[in-house]
Amino acid sequence: MKLTTLNIKSFIFACLLTSGINAYAQDTTIEFTLDTSFFTSISLGRFQPSFNYIYHSPDKKDHQRYNSYKTLVGRRPTLKNYKLYFDLACSLWELNKINDAEKMFLTIVNSKEKFYSTTYYHSSDIPGDKTKNIYGYGSFTSNYKNYSAIYLTKIYLEQKKFDKALQFLEDAVNKYEVTYTCGTGFHMQQEEYDFLYASCYEGLNRHRDVINLLLPSCLFRNDDIIIAAIRLTYSQREIAENLLKAEASIKCSLDSFPSFAYQTIYGNSKKEKTDTISYFSGTATMSLFDRQIDMPIPNLENGEHLTKEHFIKLFKESDFYTRLKGDN
Q: Give the CATH number, domain containing residue 47.
A: 1.25.40.10
Between helices 144-158 and 162-170, what is the axis angle to 10°? 160
| DSSP per-residue letters across 147-207 | HHHHHHHHHHHHTT-HHHHHHHHHIIIIIS---BSSHHHHHHHHHHHHHHHHHHHHHTT-H
List the chain residues with pLDDT less than 50: 1-46, 129-135, 328
Contact 215, 293 (CB under 8 A): yes
DSSP state of 260: E
pLDDT at 192: 96
Amino acid, res. 320: F
Residue 30 lies in a domain: yes
Under DSSP, is residue 34 helix (H, G, I), strand (E, B) or coil?
A: strand
Strands 291-294 and 282-288: antiparallel
Residue 251 lies in a domain: no
Per the structure, the complete domain to which residue 23 belongs is given by 5-235+261-281
pLDDT at 166: 98
Beta carbons within 8 Å of 122's beta carbon, 6+ residues apart: 139, 140, 141, 142
Strands of the chain (E only): list them.
Answer: 30-34, 120-122, 140-142, 251-254, 259-266, 272-279, 282-288, 291-294
pLDDT at 26: 24
Residue 291 lies in a domain: no
The continuous run of DSSP H or E covering 284 comes out as: strand 282-288
Residue 322 lies in a domain: no
Residue 324 lies in a domain: no
Residue 240 lies in a domain: no
Residue 318 lies in a domain: no
Contact 128, 82 (CB under 8 A): no
Residue 273 lies in a domain: yes
Contact 294, 315 (CB under 8 A): no
Q: Which of 35, 56, 44, 38 has its CA nearest to residue 15?
A: 44
Q: How many domains does the chain have?
A: 1
List beta partners, residue 259: 279
Q: Cα torsion for 29, 35, 39, 44, to the nearest 10°?
A: -20
